[in-house]
Amino acid sequence: MTYASDSTPELVERAYAAARQIGFPLTADDPGHGRGSACLPWVGRFLAMLAAGCHQGRIAELGTGAGIGAAWMSGAMPADCTLITTEIDPIRAAAAKELLAADPRVAVLAGDAVELISACGPFDLIFADSGVRDGETFGALVGLLRPGGRIVMDDVTPAALVPAHSPLRARDVKREMFADDARLAWTEVVLPDLENSLLVGTRR
């Protein structure tokens, strides 16, 4: 089944083109994945759905990449919402800045994500996509959410698909960070490919 709303927004298509131009991996299978890859389309749609509810809101993205997630969110967020997206790689930051330059609601900042966004909260939505893997930093991000604000992390393997011998069976840092923060009501969302999931939490 295909619906009209399944189409990819033009700005997202341009973000893919920018990614190809600078060699930013589009999928986790691409060479260079160790340096991050683009969010999956289902993650983009999920972020867009949340961004659409951020009236008079503020959104932060940690790890812009080539601007694909930012394109999904900025295209869906209300006119009175702003987005700060942060990227440590100067070439990626420059490409995303060019892509999003026409939208005055969007700021692309080059540098360390946590440092850059710490003074800019509170946020209605945080897409934590720069590789945060420690509870202290994660806790600081949750502290930047306003009550009702959401934090999202992707690149999670659905619990049912984690192989029996995988160390993730014993300890999964991403799930642990969400589970250990009592300020969050959170869940895992399995994406339509049934092979990937994301974690989303709402600040109480």
Of 23, 32, 131, 192, which one interacts with ligand SAM (CB under 6 A)?
131
- Least distance in angstroms from the C-beta of 182 to ligand SAM: 26
Question: What mask, x for binding ligand SAM by CB under 6 A, covers residues 48 to 67?
Answer: -------------xxxxx--
Query: Is 130 a binder of ligand SAM (CB under 6 A)?
Result: yes
Residue among 35, 76, 40 at smallest CA distance from 59:
76
Comparison of 65 and 201: residue with beta carbon closer to ligand SAM = 65
133: left (phi over 0), alpha (psi -120 to 50) or beta: alpha
Task: State yes or no: residue 109 binds ligand SAM (CB under 6 A).
Answer: no
Kindly give the pairing relationship between strand 145-156 and strand 106-110. unpaired
Q: How far is 123 from 54, CA to CA, in rounded Å?
A: 9
Helix 90-100 crosses helix 10-22 at what angle (to 10 degrees)?
150
Minimum CB–partner distance for residue 7 and ligand SAM (Å): 18
Q: Is 172 in the site for ligand SAM (CB under 6 A)?
A: no
123: left (phi over 0), alpha (psi -120 to 50) or beta: beta
Among 2-10, 74-82, 126-134, 169-177, which window interacts with ligand SAM (CB under 6 A)? Answer: 126-134
Query: Closest approach of Cβ 68 to ligand SAM, in Å?
Result: 4
Cβ-based neighbours of 90, under 8 Å, separated by 6 or more = 110
Question: Is 38 one of the binding residues for ligand SAM (CB under 6 A)?
Answer: yes
**Residue 57 or 63 with smaller CB distance to ligand SAM:** 63
